[in-house]
Amino acid sequence: MNRTAGTLADGREIFFYDDAPRDRTIHDRREISAADAGSQLRYDPLLQEWVAVAAARQHRTHLPSAQDCPLCPSGPGRDTEVPQETYDVVVFENRFPSFSGGAALGDQQPQFQPEELSQLRHDGAGRCEVVCFTPDHTTSLSQLPASRIRTVVDAWADRTEALLSSGGVDQVYCFENRGEEIGVTLHHPHGQIYGYPFTTPRTRQMLESAAQFRQRSGADLFEAVLKAEQAGERVVAQNEHWTAFVPAWARWPVEIHLYPHRNVRSLPELDAAERDSFASLYRDILRGGDRLFATPLPYISGWQQAPLSAAATDFRLHLQLFSIRRADNKLKYLAGSESGMGVFINDIPPEQMAQRLRSAITSGAEEGAA
């Protein structure tokens, strides 16, 4: 891995990850001061979940023109968040973070008395970072070579390891939002890394389910899910180290899970062969997704990794990609049942979507071979 660390003008950290060794001198010429990054965590005692309040994010950059993009490289007469004329992959602290500073809370839920309900607050904690996949403003992750996606994987793994050892983070979520339909406010190909100071609600539920399954059957729930799906009709693509499938319980019109065949808990544990094979398979899946509809697929794709506080539990690293696109001209909006009660209704049978994805991926491979 070829990493160069530096500091931006307002004190935020920045890290360059290059495909090949490169000499870099990092100097941010901008005259900027630290943004008001204060955030607060407030506890919902009914759902036992933390909610972040980050008012400074109201002022973040929103859909700038290409010439004003803050994620493109700096150039003559124009200084951006990236103080270099080019880069391969770069990661830096978000100027408008949802989580910032403070110590990790782990998986412990607050103990409180009735008169303390309005005081269930905690100073902002955790960390938010931006990951730029390429200096090219007009491309997408799916169009990058597998070797560049591999560099992105190395960056994700490196930042995961660093954040988990920082003392302020319990769980790391590396993810990409793609498409205005999803809510993207910067078109430049990029993702984010959230270092949560607590175990997220989704992960906490998975850990509880895995623990109950282990107690009941003596088996690993994640291993059982993988084996069941590998033998079924919902496999989308696979190789020596990974299997991608549409789960039988898919909530979203398009939903794909990628599981490593080896039982690892986080990205840093993946070896070189697993990272290489993921990069190749993931690119095929992203390109197949873009063939499903008349326009490129809007999606959220993110890594589920084990929290620090869950060291002695069953958990397996996996990636979840999902899209709200359900037809060429239709989106799935979270309506009453989903938003109000958390009960999802999927309009497309998972088996049907798996078949469509397999066909899209296969047709792409045939075009590439032609």
SS3 state at 358: helix
Selected catalytic residue, list 122, 187, 188, 190: 190
Distance separating alpha carbons of residues 120 and 41, to the nearest angstrom: 8
What b-and-e string marks burial along 102-114, b requiring 16 or more CB atoms within 10 Å of the CB?
bebbebeeeeeee
Distance separating alpha carbons of residues 4 and 301, to the nearest angstrom: 26
Token pair recorded at residue 32: 């900027």
Distance separating alpha carbons of residues 254 and 234, to the nearest angstrom: 12
Residue recorded with tokens 């899946």: 285
Token pair recorded at residue 99: 């989580």
Long-range contacts of residues 363-366, Cβ cutoff 8 Å, at least 24 apart = 363/291, 364/284, 364/287, 364/288, 364/291, 365/284
| Per-residue DSSP letter, 203 | H
Q: Is 190 a residue of the active site? A: yes
List residues with catalytic annotation.
190
